[in-house]
């Protein structure tokens, strides 16, 4: 990168909460936030926001009559965007917005499709198209914040949020924008979405301990679950005094796939993305990697193999949040960024409680954050402490 990028605002919503200190306290706990939910014809484990946060979302919905018909994923984005911009103390209107989602308006899409299949004339709701198209996420955020800059919505599977950061950085470094609001949102706890994940034969079953055994290479079964949430960040050019953390470098790669849903044994895409992100950094300077690590046997092991290929005997401390809040799909990279920033700010490593002899860093000055999605599209972002 030509110049460091400052993250001056950060806001999230997930099963962990929405306030910075609350989220950190919940990370310090060894308990997970995964619960079994009834979806009518079946049940499945998911992570969900609290009833208190549901009520706060309703306040957002009621703040504009036009919000009555928008999807929960969009409400998540608006909620986080308001809080991130407030924290960054932006009083400008010409910043850009790039917010993505893997699945988009799942709740509304499933609702409208069910109505369509049940209608004897094959008719559907007037708003079924404009409220479920992916592009409406960034557009509604721009409407809410009354911005004048570019608005971009996109989907690049589970690396969507980190790709939004790449896009924001590209706009800033090109000189076309001084600041960008970026992130990911996912309201995926819906029957068809959960059913799709179960169809992959990788979904976790109920257990008394930890349903998602992230980085437990002795596990006999796959154990991924999904969750809902969002996170948004304010990016600014250069080193700002109010920065929560700095983005020092970025990496990205896509590999040729042999299967629709898996990456290569040694995660070639991650090797390339991490190598790119570390091209100006000595590997021993990296104190921690926040891994994508979804809890599946192949997903965890391939990324771990890639890390060993890059770092060798100098492998840093490793962690992930999916054992705690599940896989939030397109929002997961942004929530992993939040975990990394919390560790940098608090100077406290958040371990995975069921792993034995887990390496812990002596200091936390630089953290590498990974994400990958269907299609083998990996992103690695190197964060540094302010």
Q: Where are the domains of the chain?
A: 5-385
In this prediction the pTM is 0.97
Euclidean distance between CA atoms 267 and 261, whole angstroms: 13
Is residue 224 classed as helix, strand or coil in its secondary structure? strand
Q: In the chain, which residue ranges form alpha helices assigned H by DSSP?
A: 20-28, 51-61, 72-88, 106-118, 136-145, 160-174, 191-199, 268-277, 297-311, 322-325, 332-346
Residue 1: predicted pLDDT: 82
CB 271 within 8 A of CB 263: no
Superfamily per CATH, domain 5-385 = Thiolase/Chalcone synthase (3.40.47.10)
The series of mean pLDDT values per 10 residues for the chain, 386 residues long, is 93 98 98 97 97 98 97 98 98 95 96 96 95 93 97 96 98 95 98 96 90 93 92 97 98 80 83 98 98 94 97 97 98 98 98 95 97 91 96
């Amino acid at each position: 990168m030509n110049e460091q990028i400052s993250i001056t605002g950060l806001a999230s919503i997930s099963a962990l909460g929405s306030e910075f200190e609350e989220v950190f306290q919940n990370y310090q706990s060894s308990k997970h936030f995964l619960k079994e939910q009834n979806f009518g014809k079946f049940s499945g484990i998911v992570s969900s926001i609290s009833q208190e946060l549901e009520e706060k979302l309703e306040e957002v919905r009621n703040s504009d009559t036009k919000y009555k018909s928008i999807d929960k994923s969009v409400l998540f984005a608006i909620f986080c965007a308001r809080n991130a911009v407030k924290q960054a103390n932006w009083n400008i209107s010409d910043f850009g917005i790039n917010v993505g989602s893997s699945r988009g308006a799942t709740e509304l899409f499933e609702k409208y499709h069910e109505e369509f299949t049940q209608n004897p004339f094959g008719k559907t709701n007037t708003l079924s198209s404009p409220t479920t198209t992916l592009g409406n996420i960034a557009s509604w955020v721009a409407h809410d914040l009354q911005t004048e800059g570019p608005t971009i919505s996109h989907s690049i599977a589970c690396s969507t949020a980190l790709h939004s950061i790449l896009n924001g950085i590209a706009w800033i470094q090109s000189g076309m924008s001084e600041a960008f609001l970026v992130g990911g949102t996912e309201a995926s706890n819906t029957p068809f979405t959960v059913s799709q994940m179960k169809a992959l034969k990788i979904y976790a079953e109920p257990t008394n301990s930890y349903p998602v055994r992230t980085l437990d290479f002795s596990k006999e079964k796959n154990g991924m679950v999904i969750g809902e949430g969002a996170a948004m960040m304010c990016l600014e050019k250069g080193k700002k005094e109010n920065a929560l953390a700095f983005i020092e470098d970025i990496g990205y790669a896509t590999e040729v796939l042999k299967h629709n849903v898996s990456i290569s044994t040694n995660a070639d895409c991650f090797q390339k993305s991490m190598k790119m992100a570390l091209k100006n950094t000595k590997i021993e300077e990296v104190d921690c990697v926040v891994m994508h690590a979804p809890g599946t046997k192949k997903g965890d092991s391939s990324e771990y193999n890639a890390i060993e290929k890059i770092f060798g005997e100098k492998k840093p401390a490793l962690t992930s949040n999916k054992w705690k809040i599940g896989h939030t799909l397109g929002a997961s990279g942004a929530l992993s960024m939040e975990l990394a920033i919390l560790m940098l700010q608090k100077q406290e490593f958040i371990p995975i409680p069921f792993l034995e002899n887990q390496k812990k860093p002596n200091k936390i000055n630089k953290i590498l954050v990974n994400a990958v999605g269907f299609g083998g599209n990996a992103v690695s972002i190197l964060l540094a402490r302010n």
